[in-house]
Chains A and B, each alone.
Chain A
Amino acid sequence: MADVTPSVSGAAVRRRRTARLGPNLVLAAAAVFFLAPLLAMARFALQNVPVIFLGRSTLFKNYSFEAFAKAFHAPQFQGTLVLTLKLAAATVLCTLALLVPTALYVHLRLPKARGLVEFLTVLPYVVPPIAMVAGVAAFFRPNARWFLNSNYALVPFYVVLALPFTYRAIDAGIRSIDVRTLVDASRSLGAGWFTTMFRALIPNLMTSIVSSSFLTATVVMGEFTIAATLSKATFPVFTFQYQTSSARGGVALALLALVGTTMLLGMLTLLTRRGPRRRAVARF
């Protein structure tokens, strides 16, 4: 701004520059703190040079995807990855089937319940995953063992775990469009509730539906606590176990998971930026 007004004295410019010194230092320090672990992890997974031998001469030597290739061929790799992807898909479907109708219903028929439903959707924060597992041990283990034996027993708990994010994303989407007009228009043209839902409402809610799906998927793909404590062989659990036998392989898998989730969230950012004016995603 100082450059636009030539009358501003040199002293004022200098003062502005020194005023930015603090914030710029903060930004630089943050960049180091947040990037260094990621770079170190990438180097460890990609470069086959122990740190002791790391120096100026070896800095760019021996880079390869060999650790990844080895991890891909580990016997449990495929099974755990497929299980986690299936769990993610099932959790997304359950979340949508449960939340889209509920949020629409609250919006159209029961606005008075909005406070209650919002309160309920933040309750999972009060019961963190490790307490949830204790609850599962206390209630489901004695009463419904058959249920816990299935790998898909994780799905409802993942739905609950992601609830605070997903409900907000869907609710924000509903608030940003005029649901009532859409419903009235569709109904007056003779459409039934089913047609109204799938041909009028859902296409208009697509941005928030996709963003809540991505959020759910990232939660499932990184969830360790519940899966590990209930002894389910999901991808994060395998990553952790694999690291004990192959340090580089484990780190390579972790890097893969990180890149995967970051890409999902990156797509989400692009998607919501192009979408309607309102931000469809709000972290609690």
Chain B
Amino acid sequence: MTASLSSVNGDRTNGAVPVPASKRKWNWAWLGLVPFLAFLFLFLLLPAYGVIRKAFIGADQQFTWTGMSDAITKEDLAFRQSIKLSLMTALLGAVLGTMLAYAAATAQRPRWLRSLVTSFSGVAANMGGVVLAFAFLTLLGTQGVGTKILKTFGWDLYEGSFRLSSFAGWVTVYLYFQIPLMVLVTLPAIDGLKTSWREASSNVGGTSWTYWRRVGLPVLAPSMLGGFMLLFANSFSAYATAYALNTGAPLVPIRISNYLQGDVSGRSPMPFALAAWMILIMAVAMGGYLLLRRRAERWRT
């Protein structure tokens, strides 16, 4: 195959510069990726391109920033709420998730605990959506069992501003998938903490606190920070859970769907500009996560 192809390929390479045979063969091998690339092009890149195009091209077919800036100014509340919610659940999720992962990784008894935590995290991290919203409604809704139990202990949940359909409620519900996601992200890093490091630290007189401050946390930091960014992205893009709790929630994903359903003509750039912002934010957060993950793998052997 190589011989027959290289002659065909020969006239493509300008003739002047001699190209190594391996390089010529290779051009053709890329053809094998065509089905995969075509599929992604059609069903991932074209929709993404459609969003970006509609966000930046105005009614007069000219490039414009107004769609994007309008989205920010008109949906200022949604952006603020979404970012606040994502920061809050990512921060809480990262800290609590790392604590849970550490507790599960270092527990010696019972033996099945660790695999239970990992498997359950796999389920819960992907739960989200309608099921999760319903579960919390039956627990902490106005008529929830948990609400009633807390009341008998003298804590009236609904006395203040707590509602499952508003900020504090979203945070509580989102943590149900954020914490397990963090567990899955940090568990490998926690396994990478070698007992010999701890022993070395205590041999030179270090306390538990010095160990964590000087060894443990610096080693875990890239995974924790990476996990934080992943969680931020995860929360910022979550739609179904928030929608099932409150179909009119002032959050960016919900606003996108409200606009899409309200304006079928597709002429308003609003939903597309919001989606373009979301893609941008996702790209930054996921890029940060991937870079930090590479950094975190340095300690793993």
Chain A residues within 8 Å of B, Cβ to Cβ: 1, 19-20, 22-24, 26-27, 30, 33-34, 36-38, 40-41, 43-44, 50-52, 54, 98-99, 101-102, 105-106, 109-110, 112-113, 117, 120, 122-142, 156-157, 159-160, 218-219, 222, 224-225, 228-229, 236, 239-240, 243, 250-251, 254-255, 257-258, 261-262, 265-266, 269, 283
Contacting A at CB under 8 A, from B181-206, are 184
What CA separation (Å) do A113 and B32 show in the bound complex?
11
Q: Within 8 Å of chain A (Cβ to Cβ): is B225?
A: no
15 pairs from A and B in contact (CB 8 Å cutoff): A27-B104, A27-B113, A37-B140, A37-B176, A99-B36, A120-B36, A132-B47, A133-B257, A134-B260, A136-B47, A138-B53, A159-B39, A236-B240, A254-B134, A283-B125
What CA separation (Å) do A51 and B140 show in the bound complex?
11
Contacting A at CB under 8 A, from B264-290, are 266, 271-272, 274-275, 278-279, 282-283, 286, 290
Chain B minimum-CB-distance residue to A257: B131
Instruction: Give, as a whole number of angstroms, the nearest-CB distance from B92 to chain A.
Output: 12
In the complex the two chains form, is A142's CB within 8 Å of B266's CB? yes
Q: Within 8 Å of chain A (Cβ to Cβ): is B29?
A: yes
In the complex the two chains form, is B148's CB within 8 Å of A131's CB? no
What CA separation (Å) do A129 and B44 show in the bound complex?
11
Instruction: Give, as a whole number of angstroms, the nearest-CB distance from A251 to chain B.
Output: 5
What CA separation (Å) do A136 and B257 show in the bound complex?
12
Instruction: Give, as a whole number of angstroms, the nearest-CB distance from A120 to chain B.
Output: 6
- Among B40, B108, B122, B233, the residue within 8 A (CB) of A283 is B122
List residues of chain B with CB within 8 A of the CB of A40.
135, 138-139, 144-146
In the complex the two chains form, is A34's CB within 8 Å of B124's CB? yes
Chain B minimum-CB-distance residue to A225: B239
Q: Within 8 Å of chain A (Cβ to Cβ): is B48?
A: yes
In the complex the two chains form, is A23's CB within 8 Å of B107's CB? yes
List residues of chain A with CB within 8 A of the CB of B128.
222
In the complex the two chains form, is B134's CB within 8 Å of A251's CB? yes
Majority secondary structure, A binding face: helix
Evaluate whether A236 and B134 lie within 8 angstroms (CB atoms) in the complex, with A102-B33, A128-B278, A131-B256 already known: no
List residues of chain A with CB within 8 A of the CB of B239.
128-130, 224-225
- Among B30, B103, B147, B175, the residue within 8 A (CB) of A27 is B103
- Among B39, B106, B139, B279, the residue within 8 A (CB) of A127 is B279
Q: Within 8 Å of chain A (Cβ to Cβ): is B46?
A: yes
In addition to A30-B179, A102-B32, A243-B130, 16 A-B residue pairs with Cβ atoms within 8 Å of each other are A24-B103, A26-B102, A30-B103, A40-B135, A40-B145, A41-B139, A44-B138, A51-B145, A98-B35, A102-B36, A106-B33, A134-B256, A134-B271, A137-B50, A140-B47, A239-B130
What CA separation (Å) do A133 and B261 show in the bound complex?
11
In the complex the two chains form, is A130's CB within 8 Å of B26's CB? no
What CA separation (Å) do A106 and B274 show in the bound complex?
36
Instruction: Give, as a whole number of angstroms, the nearest-CB distance from A156 to chain B.
Output: 4
List residues of chain A with CB within 8 A of the CB of B36.
98-99, 102, 117, 120
Instruction: Give, as a whole number of angstroms, the nearest-CB distance from A269 to chain B.
Output: 5
In the complex the two chains form, is A261's CB within 8 Å of B240's CB? no
Of B122, B138, B272, chain A has the most CB atoms within 10 Å of the CB of B138
In the complex the two chains form, is B176's CB within 8 Å of A240's CB? no
Evaluate whether A134 and B275 lie within 8 angstroms (CB atoms) in the complex, with A127-B282, A222-B129 already known: yes
List residues of chain B with CB within 8 A of the CB of A20.
107
What CA separation (Å) do A111 and B49 show in the bound complex?
29
Enumerate the 3 nearest inter-chain pairs by beta-carbon distance, A residue then B residue, closest first: A135-B47, A139-B50, A138-B50
In the complex the two chains form, is B275's CB within 8 Å of A261's CB? no
Chain B minimum-CB-distance residue to A129: B239
- Among A156, A251, A254, the residue within 8 A (CB) of B42 is A156
In the complex the two chains form, is A160's CB within 8 Å of B40's CB? yes
Chain B minimum-CB-distance residue to A35: B120
What CA separation (Å) do A218 and B271 show in the bound complex?
29
